[in-house]
């Protein structure tokens, strides 16, 4: 049996992939991988995802330059989630120019909860995407 056969892809042929900073442990982003993206990632040690909006492989950083060098790949106990520990090149994983896509935190009292931005923009998105 090949290692890829242990991965449980959903009905659309996708598996969620969590990118985590290899040093800090911070979750940078969540994306999707199909079989081809996962194989290419394993072969090249560069994060490759499946873009659901573009309907094609998305080599992280192909436009922005903010690539992810993969340090390790892990599979969860059910075989249906991939965890990548990555070295984020450029320090920005989010298309908003922030380190992480998880830059909002729920804050306030129970009656007045709202999302509060916790991370500053490190790089102007207009300079990353043309």
Q: DSSP letters along 20-35, please? A: EETTT--EEEEEEE-H
Domain assignment present for residue 33? The answer is yes
H/E stretch holding 39 reads: helix 35-44
Domain assignment present for residue 113? The answer is no
Domain assignment present for residue 49? The answer is yes
Domain assignment present for residue 97? The answer is no
**How far are the Cα atoms of 15, 79, 80, 125 from residue 11, in angstroms, in the given order?**
10, 14, 12, 33
Structural domain including 19 reads: 9-91
Domain assignment present for residue 57? The answer is yes
Arithmetic mean of pLDDT, 80-108: 96
Helix (H, G, I), strand (E, B) or coil at 6: helix
Number of compact structural domains in the chain: 1
Domain containing residue 69: CATH number: 3.10.20.810
Confidence of residue 129 (pLDDT cuts 50, 70, 90): confident
Q: Give the Cα separation of 13 and 72 in Å (integer).
A: 22
Which of 85, 43, 50 has the alpha carbon at shortest distance from 68?
85
pTM of the model: 0.91
Q: Give the Cα separation of 12 and 31 in Å (integer).
A: 14
Distance of CA 42 to the CA centre of its chain: 15
Domain assignment present for residue 56? The answer is yes
Give the model confidence (pLDDT) of 30-86 as tens digits. Answer: 999 999 999 999 999 999 999 999 999 999 999 999 999 999 999 999 999 999 999
Q: Answer whether residue 1 shows pLDDT above 80.
A: no
Domain assignment present for residue 28? The answer is yes
Strands 27-33 and 15-21: antiparallel
Arithmetic mean of pLDDT, 6-25: 98
């Amino acid at each position: 049996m090949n290692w890829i056969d242990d991965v449980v892809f959903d009905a659309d042929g996708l598996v969620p992939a969590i990118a985590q900073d290899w040093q800090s442990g911070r979750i940078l982003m969540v994306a999707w991988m199909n079989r081809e993206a996962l194989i290419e990632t394993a072969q090249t040690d560069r994060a490759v995802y499946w873009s659901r909006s573009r309907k094609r492989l998305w080599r992280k950083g192909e436009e922005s330059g903010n690539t992810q060098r993969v340090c390790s790949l892990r599979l969860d106990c059910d075989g249906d989630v991939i965890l990548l520990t990555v070295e984020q090149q450029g320090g920005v994983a989010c298309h908003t120019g922030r380190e992480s896509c998880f830059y909002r935190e729920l804050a306030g009292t129970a009656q007045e909860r709202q999302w509060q931005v916790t991370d500053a923009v490190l790089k102007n998105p207009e300079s990353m995407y043309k």
